[in-house]
Amino acid sequence: MKPVKHIKIKNEMKVNELVSSFGSCGFNSRKLSEAVNILEKAIKEKCKIFFGLAGAMVPGGMKQVVIDAIKQGYIDVLVITGANLTHDIIEAIGFKHYIGNEKVNDTMLHKKGLDRIYNVFMKSKSYLRLENFFTKHFDVLSKANNPREFLWKLGQILSKGGRKKARGRESILSTCYKYNVPIFCPALTDSGIGLMIWSQTIRKKKINLDFFADIAEIIEIAWQTKKTAVFYVGGGVPKNFIQQTMQFTRPASYGIQITTDRQEPGGSSGASLKEGISWGKLHEKAKFVDVYCDATIALPLICASLKDRLKNRKIKRKK
Amino acid sequence: MKPVKHIKIKNEMKVNELVSSFGSCGFNSRKLSEAVNILEKAIKEKCKIFFGLAGAMVPGGMKQVVIDAIKQGYIDVLVITGANLTHDIIEAIGFKHYIGNEKVNDTMLHKKGLDRIYNVFMKSKSYLRLENFFTKHFDVLSKANNPREFLWKLGQILSKGGRKKARGRESILSTCYKYNVPIFCPALTDSGIGLMIWSQTIRKKKINLDFFADIAEIIEIAWQTKKTAVFYVGGGVPKNFIQQTMQFTRPASYGIQITTDRQEPGGSSGASLKEGISWGKLHEKAKFVDVYCDATIALPLICASLKDRLKNRKIKRKK
Amino acid sequence: MKPVKHIKIKNEMKVNELVSSFGSCGFNSRKLSEAVNILEKAIKEKCKIFFGLAGAMVPGGMKQVVIDAIKQGYIDVLVITGANLTHDIIEAIGFKHYIGNEKVNDTMLHKKGLDRIYNVFMKSKSYLRLENFFTKHFDVLSKANNPREFLWKLGQILSKGGRKKARGRESILSTCYKYNVPIFCPALTDSGIGLMIWSQTIRKKKINLDFFADIAEIIEIAWQTKKTAVFYVGGGVPKNFIQQTMQFTRPASYGIQITTDRQEPGGSSGASLKEGISWGKLHEKAKFVDVYCDATIALPLICASLKDRLKNRKIKRKK
Amino acid sequence: MKPVKHIKIKNEMKVNELVSSFGSCGFNSRKLSEAVNILEKAIKEKCKIFFGLAGAMVPGGMKQVVIDAIKQGYIDVLVITGANLTHDIIEAIGFKHYIGNEKVNDTMLHKKGLDRIYNVFMKSKSYLRLENFFTKHFDVLSKANNPREFLWKLGQILSKGGRKKARGRESILSTCYKYNVPIFCPALTDSGIGLMIWSQTIRKKKINLDFFADIAEIIEIAWQTKKTAVFYVGGGVPKNFIQQTMQFTRPASYGIQITTDRQEPGGSSGASLKEGISWGKLHEKAKFVDVYCDATIALPLICASLKDRLKNRKIKRKK
């Protein structure tokens, strides 16, 4: 047995030093440290990493962390909620999210045209420009065969434009396009994007996306992979869609999840990774850890720590 | 100000008596009591009730409660996860869920062919018969235009058969069919049903479901309604899909949610109903309550209490 | 393996029927049902039941449930927070708690002299009368040797008075006195009672309570018992004080805890009962269950169910 | 309104850089950043900081962080659980805590003499040496008038010995002694220390601690202070004891709490700081924040960030 080593805060301590020292402590700090160890190992072994992103991570300020994770090669397949993509586009076309306050009166916010996401605000008129954007590009977008291709076309559109523009408004969608990372969004209709497509169809525009082709594509990717890692932020559809892919191909060799949901009420979001072993979603000998922490704290810690550990690694850019 | 009245347990106390007495207590017991009051009011005012059902409620033993809620007229529109529907069909075709144990070894379960959902087990071979079922009925099912219609056809198929069979294996799907309650499942591909459809397509069978038509249909239903109530069990896509429908039609007049998720990490599942006022999802003058409780406890309490309160009401059967 | 039986809500369903049917479901509903089974067994086997009560259960409307649990013989030793006792006395001397609202402005409440306990209010002037009460009875109270005896004297004082008064203002303290149930409050100084005693001492009144004698007394009770059950509502000092008593005498044979705390952050309140086996606090063969639920919901359900199951039992009144 | 700025992970990023950038994000990351801002302000304004430490922070590897916080002058008054002090002494007399695993069999651990604290282990024989320690020093310790003085004497004893020993086994108790920080432990009897004292008394040794004198002392400290800050890690008795001190002296000007408990079930541990305004525990104009995060993650982040921000500050050593 190894003893607990008490954390010693140093001057100008680096994130990776602190996260590494978490590994000799207890409770969730150790779990967070193990998450970095597991990811480091999975990346070095060139596992294909399936990343599930739920929650309001874009409004929460985590967009660049995800973008950089894609660029660094920590993410090979992205499964995401429509909400995160909607907020990603809203920022890409020039709108912002704002530092808000959860204690404010919601009726007053409504009158001011501000939508609240806990302690973050967004102008509700963002939706108008979103509609214009989709009207403008719908002819191109509607040629997509399936949601994955639709999102790829969206990424292509968003990655165009002058350098300056691109730099300022880098998006998850455009980065996935540039780095050839497939994005899946099974519940696309459950989002602002879904609503924008619907609003085109009531103007008699046509689109015909084959949602089941997305299942075929992600299963094909998993089949062609020898070793996979799953990395879940926040549960929901992204987690479950990856889990079922593992179940129907082969169980993952590495697993990480960051959540604040509980396992006892039985929902998929809060289910422990260990439970996945019974289903064949996770390999019996897999290395895995559940980190119970707000992802806006845990995800940057994990990515900052990983960045330092992998700084001498040559990234095989998939561009 | 009204004083707190301490609960007095009576002999052979009825659920409705206890839940009603919760109304003069504190904390979540009072919230649960308010949920019943709100639903009672919404039902008496003939609001259209949009019910969002996430979580593993079918494996958790809540199927009949949902079925009876449909029959009693507490649910007018059902938005549900693919997982709940998959488990609903699995039971309808003769399989069961089992009393399990969360402390058991998952590797051992995997070897025995048992899938674990916290403290509930399922035989993994259920999936085989599920596949046979879809193979048998795919020609009929594949004629559906959109997921809502696909689920309606599923309900139709499941409601056939002798009386005895139907009684023993009543399902959410067949009940919705019989009582003309539309079911929406935006993330249908994220489920066993989705996988079964995919497995038909790899055998060159065709299906072409228009997912965006479901948005059009639920928005149309909401538009045609003067007063709506939202009732969420467990967040996820079902909640968000209803929420966006309210946002793009008119805000709900009544709202209830049962969840154990937290609001602080910013996700939609844990978001307080109050937050919806800023978005125009919930009316500024709406009556609403968030109940923080495992739904396998809260939902039966609410439904048992409602049943007693509404026992003299003539149910306008929509069959 | 036994199958999950879906709950069927009946007309005028009784609490015990519903709770019993929880036993064939999943997640926390089954745990709650198991809690009743365990308590029923412990009571029938005449185990000594050590009940730990934390949280704001008196403001939350649970006072009578606790009082009746004492009368019914479900509680043999009570370990409690000073806060619950303070609120118990405040009600016994004529003050009330009020139905409040957690969304209200706290500055406004402060100006109105209302103290908030989530969605319950209390008049802050209650403390003044509390002080008068202690001034009046301090001579008697200060003769106590240890906190347990001090609380016994308090119960004696509160149990006096006319019948009418007693009926209306029944308290946990007076009931424990009448039914000879010892009360321990290890953190007595961390409460309004503690402050009231301090305020007497600054008037030069003397009191000398031997806090360590309480350890001796509870350990003596446990030593003299063959079989014990532990029943925790809400963790905190009450749970831990009972746990250490078990550890230093003999491990409990039955265990129940109701909490919403999590185990992962490592604190005693959220620790699973199972963890206690490693310490020798719980017997290796003990029957036990952790129920994750707001106690204002779970405790009345458990007590109402127990009452029906044990209605033909002759209570050996310990008066 | 200020826009959300997405976190950009830099090479070799320092903890303070990351935590500062949390301030422009959403959800709990921003709250954590605000906690550092509030503490920085409170320290610079020379507020008296009352620090409440619950949970299993010593087994969890946080001992040195607390020790350094005392040395750096972030803590002026410490209110703590007996459990944390017991584990502090156990380490000071040469025992350790060990990296454990929450999934291990507790019966097996019990047989091996290992006590489990979630994912940390301790040898149960630590208690034997603890008893020897108390037997050896009881004559000195028993001369204490009140628990605060008892703990001061404990700190004095533990701070003795050769330099090397002291360095290796630095404790919270000895550091408080050296830096003249008073420690209060209202629930001292609810701990291993309490049990050790009890075990001396059964050998006819005498001790007479005046627990109410501790109330007098902490109230006196608060009275003599113009501006106070409260800093809670984990709720419980430490938080409540400080809260009542504020209520009966003057409300705190700054407040921080780190917890994973919920507010809805009404307990003091999970109560929002805002609620304290109604009671007069927190000033109406106070700056305060609740951080919902495992303290083994949040506390080191806060302390590392603070250390950098205050590195040029001259610490007025209170030795």
Average pLDDT rounded to a whole number, residues C47-60: 98
Q: Which CATH number fits domain D47-96+125-300: 3.90.45.10, 3.20.20.70, 3.40.910.10, 3.40.50.740?
A: 3.40.910.10
D31–B265: do the CB atoms touch at under 8 Å? Answer: no
How many CB atoms neighbour CB A310 within 10 A? 17
What does the pLDDT look like over C309-318, one tens digit per residue?
Answer: 999 887 765 5
Question: Which residue of B lies nearest to C301 if distances are taken between CA atoms?
Answer: B18
Spell out which residues of chain B touch residue D28, defining contact as CB-CB under 8 Å: 264-265
How long is chain C?
319
Q: Mention every residue, 6+ apart, whose C-beta is less than 8 A from residue A59.
A: A87, A97, A117, A120, A122, B266, D4, D26
User: Cα–Cα distance between D11 and A305 in angstroms, integer?
Assistant: 9
pLDDT of residue D165: 57
D32 touches chain C (CB under 8 A): no
Q: Is B224 exposed, middle or buried (0-12, 13-18, 19+ CB in 10 A)?
A: exposed
Q: Which residue has the tokens 């497509």?
A: A197
Q: Which pLDDT score, from 0 to 100, does residue D312 have?
A: 86
Please tell me which residue of chain D has the smallest CA distance to C243: D190
Name which of B12, B26, B61 is nearest C60 (Cβ-Cβ): B26
Return the partners of chain C (3 or more C-beta pairs < 8 Å): A, B, D
Residues of B in contact with A187 (CB under 8 A): 186-187, 190, 237, 241
Residue D236 scores a pLDDT above 60: yes
pLDDT (average), residues C199-207:
94
User: Strand D97-99 and strand D228-233: pairing?
Assistant: unpaired
Map tokens 């045209």 to a residue: A113
Whether B319 shows a pLDDT value over 80: the answer reads: no
Cα dihedral sign for D82, D83, D89, D92?
A: negative
Smallest CA–CA separation between D131 and chain C, in Å? 13
B274 → chain C, closest CA residue: C103
Q: Subunits with at least 3 CB pairs below 8 A relative to chain A?
A: B, C, D
pLDDT at B316 over 80: no
Residue A317 has pLDDT above 80, yes or no: no
- Which 3 state secondary structure label does DSSP give C269? coil
Q: What is the tens place of the pLDDT at every residue in A188-216? A: 999 999 999 999 999 999 999 999 999 99
The mean pLDDT of C279-305, rounded to a whole number, is 98
The 3-state DSSP class for residue D291 equals strand
Q: Do A99 and D28 touch (CB under 8 A)?
A: no
B217 touches chain A (CB under 8 A): no
pTM: 0.97
What's the confidence (pLDDT) of residue B165?
A: 57
List the single residue in C26, C28, C265 with the smallest CB-CB distance to A27: C265
Contact B235, B275 (CB under 8 A): no
Measured between alpha carbons, how far is C198 from C206 in angstroms, rounded to an integer?
10
More confident position, C160 or B239: B239
How many Cβ pairs within 8 Å bridge chains A and B? 211
Asked whether the predicted pLDDT for residue D163 surpasses 80, the reply is: no
Q: Which of residues 149-168 of D touch C (CB under 8 A)?
A: none
Residue D41 near chain A (CB below 8 Å): no
Q: What percent of chain B has pLDDT over 70?
A: 96
pLDDT, tens digit, 9 for 90 and up, residues C120-152: 999 999 999 999 999 999 999 999 999 999 999
Neighbours of chain D (3+ CB pairs under 8 A): A, B, C
* Chain A stretch 92-151, residues whose beta carbon is closer than 8 A to a beta carbon of chain B: 102, 106-107, 109-110, 114-120, 124
**Looking at C31, C48, C71, C281, which residue is catalytic?**
C281
Q: DSSP letters along chain B, please? A: -PBP----PPTT-BHHHHHHHHTTS-HHHHHHHHHHHHHHHHHHTTPEEEEEE-SSTTTTT-HHHHHHHHHTTS-SEEEE-HHHHHHHHHHHTT--EEE--TTS-HHHHHHHTEEEETTEEEETTHHHHHHHHHHHHHHHHTT-SSHHHHHHHHHHHHH-S-HHHHHHT--HHHHHHHTT--EE-TTTTSSHHHHHHHHHHTTT------HHHHHHHHHHHHHT-SSEEEEEES-HHHHHHHHHHHHHS--EEEEEEEE---STT--TTT--TTHHHHHTSEEEEEEEEEEES-HHHHHHHHHHHHHHHTTTSPP----
Query: Tens of pLDDT along D241-251?
Result: 999 999 999 99
CATH of domain A45-97+124-301: 3.40.910.10
How do residues A180-189 score in pLDDT, each as one tens digit? 999 999 999 9
| Confidence (pLDDT) at B166 | 52
The per-residue pLDDT of chain C, averaged, comes to 95
- Look at A27 and C264 and tell me if their CB atoms are within 8 Å: yes
Q: How confident is the model at residue B317 (pLDDT cuts 50, 70, 90)?
A: low
Assign B147 a pLDDT band (cuts: 50, 70, 90). Answer: very high
pLDDT digit string, tens, across residues A59-95: 999 999 999 999 999 999 999 999 999 999 999 999 9
Report the topology of domain C46-95+125-294: Deoxyhypusine Synthase (3.40.910)
Q: Average pLDDT for residues D192-200, to the nearest whole number?
A: 97
Across residues B237-260, what is the average pLDDT? 98
Q: Identify the band that residue B313 occupies on the pLDDT scale cut at 50, 70 and 90.
A: confident
- Report how far residue A65's alpha carbon sits from residue D10's, in angstroms, rounded to the nearest whole number: 10
Q: Which range is least confidently modeled, A288-297, C168-177, C307-316, D276-285?
A: C307-316
What lies within 8 Å, CB to CB, of B128 at 6+ separation is none
Residues in Cβ contact with A95 at an 8 Å cutoff, skipping those fewer than 6 apart: A122, A123, A126, A129
Interface of C with B in 254-283 (CB under 8 A): 260, 274
Q: Is A164 left (phi over 0), alpha (psi -120 to 50) or beta?
A: alpha
> At A312, is the pLDDT very low, low, confident or very high (cuts 50, 70, 90)?
confident
Does A235 score more than 90 pLDDT?
yes
Query: Is residue D179 within 8 Å of residue D319, measured between CB atoms?
Result: yes
Question: In the predicted model, is pLDDT for residue C239 greater than 70?
Answer: yes
**B43 interface with C at CB cutoff 8 Å:** no
pLDDT band at residue A230 using 50, 70 and 90 as cut-offs:
very high
A31 vs C292: CB contact, 8 Å cut-off? no
Counted residue by residue, chain D has a size of 319
The answer on pLDDT for A167 being more than 70 is no
- Asked if A264 lies within 8 A of C27 by C-beta distance, the reply is yes
Q: Tell which C residues from 176 to 215 touch D, by Cβ distance under 8 Å.
A: 186-192, 194-195, 197-198, 201-202, 207-215
D88 contacts in A (CB within 8 Å)?
none
* Residue A163 confidence (pLDDT): 53
Closest partner residue to A98 (CB to CB) among D1, D22, D297 is: D1
Query: Right CATH number for B48-97+123-293 from 2.60.40.10, 3.30.70.20, 3.40.910.10, 3.40.50.460?
Result: 3.40.910.10
Spatial separation of the C-alpha atoms in residues A271 and A254, rounded to whole Å: 16
Q: What mean pLDDT value characterizes chain A?
A: 95
Can you give the pLDDT at residue A315? 75
Helix or strand (DSSP H, E) at A53:
strand A48-53
Summarised one tens digit per residue, pLDDT across range C93-119 is: 999 999 999 999 999 999 999 999 999
Give the separation between CA C281 and CA C242, rounded to whole angstroms: 9
Distance from CA of B3 to the nearest CA of C (A): 4
Which of the residues D264, D274, D278, D294 would you substitute to probe the B interface, choosing the one with the greatest number of B C-beta atoms within 10 Å?
A: D264
Asked whether B177 and B160 are in contact (CB, 8 A), the reply is no
pLDDT, tens only, B179-205: 999 999 999 999 999 999 999 999 999
Residue B212: is its pLDDT beyond 60?
yes
C-alpha dist (Å) from residue D79 to B254, C158, D288: 45, 32, 19
